[in-house]
């Protein structure tokens, strides 16, 4: 039995721990593993190598992905997918494991629909935007990176008596903002999933000032309905010239050594993936619900709708 593995889409801390788990799990059960470089792009370019136990030594703690990742427009149409399938067949690959986000999993599902190739999706993305799993691999590390930044910025905001808008990643999903903002004691959190009221934000900031609070932190997801620069300009004007700074965290949230939680999630889902391959399952997305590792057919997983933010919003409404 020969298994192919690739990482695709945006990179996320913990992808390496996940590659390691799949490779070592496969070898443990007597299967061969071929590592495909640069996601679907490398699959189309026939850029792959046989992996051994030693190939994944000393990577559990590293951010990024040793297999590298890419976005691949050719794979988004059926002809490209059929070309990719030919390369899988040529190398005798009977099951393909993909580590990535929603787009990566949709590509894998289409490959399965067109060719019956056995495909397995592991949730590697910092965004936490996959509804079928409570957490994705990389999310916890990103939240902790953002949290550390909030702590540092809070110190300087406090010294200068400023309001600071901290923009974190999340185009459609505000989970990084929600979790880092909640843990970091932000005054206000603005996410794409929920409309916000500028009057309420101004009132809250003014009430804080009236109580003697010298600084405030607003955590805003990049995809929220207002840009950080516009928000800063509006707040400065509405609050009588109070200094409002904007800090955009950007790519620092993608890198870094994965947290214990991400490494363990990567290891558990990776091993479960290998077990599903052994059990003869044809396709699955693997994730975590509560503390249980779960799997669903890819089409079922990708049709689910995310609502976990509602519970976190409720807590923020009470505490912020």
| For ligand ADP, the closer CB: 122 or 165 | 122
Q: Is 127 tagged catalytic?
A: yes
| For ligand ADP, the closer CB: 133 or 313 | 133
| For ligand ADP, the closer CB: 25 or 121 | 121
Task: Give the whole-angstrom CA distance, residue 289 versus residue 79.
Answer: 36
| For ligand ADP, the closer CB: 43 or 201 | 43
Task: Give the whole-angstrom CA distance, residue 38 versus residue 35.
Answer: 10
Q: Tell the smallest beta-carbon distance from residue 84 to ligand ADP (Å).
A: 9
Q: Tell the smallest beta-carbon distance from residue 3 to ligand ADP (Å).
A: 19
Q: Tell the smallest beta-carbon distance from residue 11 to ligand ADP (Å).
A: 9
| For ligand ADP, the closer CB: 106 or 204 | 106
Q: Which residue is nearest to ligand ADP (CB)?
A: 103
Q: Tell the smallest beta-carbon distance from residue 30 to ligand ADP (Å).
A: 30
Q: Tell the smallest beta-carbon distance from residue 307 to ligand ADP (Å).
A: 20
CA-nearest of 74, 64, 45 to 7 is 64
Q: Tell the smallest beta-carbon distance from residue 236 to ligand ADP (Å).
A: 36
Q: Which residues bind ligand ADP (CB under 6 A)?
A: 8-10, 40, 71-72, 75-76, 100-104, 106-107, 110, 125
* Identified catalytic residue from 11, 102, 127, 262: 127
| For ligand ADP, the closer CB: 32 or 76 | 76
DSSP notation for the chain:
-EEEEEE-SS--TTHHHHHHHHHHHHHHTT-EEEEETTHHHHHHTT-EEEE-GGGGTT-TT-SS-TT-----GGGGSHHHHHHHHHHHHHTT--EEEEEE-HHHHHHHHHHHHHH--EEEEEEB-TT---TTSS--BTHHHHHHHHHHHHHHHHHHHHHHT-EEEEEES-SS--HHHHHHHHHTT-SEEE-TTS---HHHHHHHHHHHHHTT---EEEEEETTSSS-HHHHHHHHHHHTTS--EEEEE-GGGGT-SPPPHHHHHHHHHHHHHHHHHHHHT-SEEEEEEETTEEEEE-HHHHHH----THHHHHHHHHHH-
| Catalytically annotated residues | 127
């Amino acid at each position: 039995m020969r298994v192919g593995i690739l990482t695709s889409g945006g990179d996320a801390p913990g992808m390496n721990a996940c590659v390691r788990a799949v490779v070592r799990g496969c070898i443990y059960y007597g299967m061969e593993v071929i590592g495909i470089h640069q996601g679907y792009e490398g699959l189309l370019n026939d850029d792959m190598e046989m992996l051994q136990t030693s190939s994944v030594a000393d990577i559990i703690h590293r951010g990024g992905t040793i297999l590298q990742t890419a976005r691949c427009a050719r794979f988004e149409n059926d002809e490209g997918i059929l070309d990719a399938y030919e390369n899988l067949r040529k190398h005798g690959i009977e099951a393909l494991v993909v580590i990535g986000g929603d787009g990566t999993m949709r590509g894998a599902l289409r490959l399965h629909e067109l060719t019956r190739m056995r495909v397995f999706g592991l949730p590697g993305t910092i965004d936490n935007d996959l509804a079928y799993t409570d957490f994705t691999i990389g999310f916890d590390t990103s939240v902790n990176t953002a949290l550390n930044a909030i702590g540092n910025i809070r110190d300087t905001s406090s010294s200068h008596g400023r309001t600071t808008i901290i923009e974190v990643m999340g185009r459609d999903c505000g989970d990084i903002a929600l979790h880092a903002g909640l843990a970091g004691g932000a005054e206000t959190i603005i996410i794409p999933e929920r409309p916000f009221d500028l009057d309420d934000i101004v009132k809250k900031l003014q009430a804080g000032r009236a109580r003697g609070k010298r600084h405030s932190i607003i955590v805003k997801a990049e995809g929220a309905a207002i840009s950080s620069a516009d928000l800063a300009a509006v707040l400065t004007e509405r609050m009588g010239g109070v200094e409002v700074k904007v800090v955009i965290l950007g790519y620092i949230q993608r890198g870094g050594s994965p947290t214990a939680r991400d490494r363990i999630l990567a290891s558990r889902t990776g091993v479960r993936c290998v077990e599903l391959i052994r059990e003869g399952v044809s396709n699955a997305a693997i994730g975590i619900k509560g503390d249980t590792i779960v799997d669903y057919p890819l089409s079922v997983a990708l049709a689910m709708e995310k609502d976990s933010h509602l519970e976190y919003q409720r807590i923020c409404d009470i505490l912020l």
